[in-house]
């Protein structure tokens, strides 16, 4: 957003829609105007354009929420389609093996974006949700994605203030770097109660045909399953399985 400067019509139109996030699912017209930094009349004009197109819907209480049309176009993203198709059977296998939660995430900006999440009935309730972003340093999938990013990206990320979510969140840049180096060797991470207590995330990378890390897969279980080390190998093998389905030919399951 270029608040204060001259903004194009396109940038204003997109500014109105991009403020709808997992934490702001329904917004009033004045919320939208404030968050997108536009006058109320201008906001109303753009909101109406989005409603006419199906990108926004007006709820019974007068607030606005995202309509299904944006999803319909957005889900055509080739990277998402192939990733999702490759990953779903393996996410299913992780669910069968853990009876908890299985997730798939990609990098978006300096955060993880959850692309897929399946949960068993009565599983540990998680903060994550499909379409939600969470911090890289406090999640299993995030650490895996960060570890497999370029050095400049890692340096930039570690210059940001890292939020401490629990007593277990590792926020010291030096310690994070050591951890990332270890992930690069083992192709695996176990994040224990680092985002919220009671929850352990086991994550492994997903590589594409060229070997690039395009996503991370995780099993998210309860701390009571802490001593079940068979879960580690299960997640590593699932990550490699998705990679194989994407055409990856290397071998990354370290002993």
47 CB contacts (<8 Å, ≥6 apart)?
Answer: 16, 29, 32, 56, 64
Collapse the DSSP code of 59 into the 3-class scheme (helix H, G, I; strand E, B; otherwise coil) and give the result. Answer: coil
Stretch that binds a copy of itself, among 11-19, 190-198, 200-208, 212-220 (CB under 8 A): 11-19
Q: Does 125 bind a copy of itself (CB under 8 A)?
A: no
Kindly tell me which of 17 and 170 has the beta carbon lying closer to a copy of itself.
17
Q: Pick from 32, 33, 104, 113 the residue near a copy of itself by CB under 8 A.
A: 113
Q: Does 211 bind a copy of itself (CB under 8 A)?
A: no
Of the candidates 70, 73, 82, 152, the residue with the CA atom closest to the CA atom of residue 110: 152
Q: Pick from 11, 166, 186, 225 the residue near a copy of itself by CB under 8 A.
A: 11
Q: Pick from 7, 37, 44, 49 the residue near a copy of itself by CB under 8 A.
A: 49
Token output for 29: 């017209």
Give all strands (DSSP E) within the chain, no chain letters.
26-27, 56-58, 64-66, 101-108, 111-119, 133-135, 189-192, 199-207, 213-222
Contact call for residues 160 and 168 (beta carbons, < 8 A): no
Kindly tell me which of 184 and 244 has the beta carbon lying closer to a copy of itself.
244
CA distance 221 to 224: 8
B/e letters for 91-101, b = 16+ CB within 10 Å, e = fewer, are: bebbbebbebb
Question: Residues 66-105: x/- map of binding to a copy of itself (CB under 8 A)?
Answer: xxxxxxxxxxxxxxxx--x---xx--x--x----------
Kindly tell me which of 49 and 232 has the beta carbon lying closer to a copy of itself.
49
List of residues contacting a copy of itself (CB under 8 A): 8-11, 13-14, 17-18, 20-22, 25-26, 46, 49, 53, 55, 57, 65-81, 84, 88-89, 92, 95, 106, 108, 113, 118-121, 129-131
């Amino acid at each position: 957003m270029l608040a204060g400067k001259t903004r194009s019509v396109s940038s204003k139109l997109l500014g109105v829609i991009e403020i709808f996030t997992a934490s702001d699912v329904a917004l009033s017209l004045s919320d939208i105007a404030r968050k997108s930094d536009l006058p109320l009349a201008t906001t109303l004009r753009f909101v109406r354009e989005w409603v006419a197109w199906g990108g926004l819907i007006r709820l019974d209480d007068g607030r606005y929420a995202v309509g299904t049309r944006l999803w319909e176009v957005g889900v055509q993203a080739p990277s998402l389609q192939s990733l999702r198709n490759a990953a779903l059977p393996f996410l299913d296998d992780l669910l069968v093996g853990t009876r908890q939660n299985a997730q798939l995430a990609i990098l978006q900006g300096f955060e993880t974006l959850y692309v897929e999440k399946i949960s068993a009935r009565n599983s540990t309730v998680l903060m994550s949700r499909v379409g939600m972003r969470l911090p890289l340093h406090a999640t299993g999938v995030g650490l895996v994605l960060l570890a497999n990013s370029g050095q400049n990206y890692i340096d930039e990320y570690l210059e940001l203030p890292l939020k401490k979510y629990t007593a277990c969140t590792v926020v010291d840049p030096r310690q994070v770097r050591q951890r990332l180096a270890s992930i690069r060797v083992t192709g695996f991470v176990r994040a224990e109660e680092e985002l919220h207590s009671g929850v352990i995330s086991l994550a492994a990378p997903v590589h594409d045909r060229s070997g690039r890390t395009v996503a991370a897969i995780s099993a998210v279980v309860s701390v009571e399953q802490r001593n079940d080390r068979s879960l580690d190998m299960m997640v590593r093998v699932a990550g490699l399985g998705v990679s194989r389905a994407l055409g990856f030919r290397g071998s990354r399951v370290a002993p």
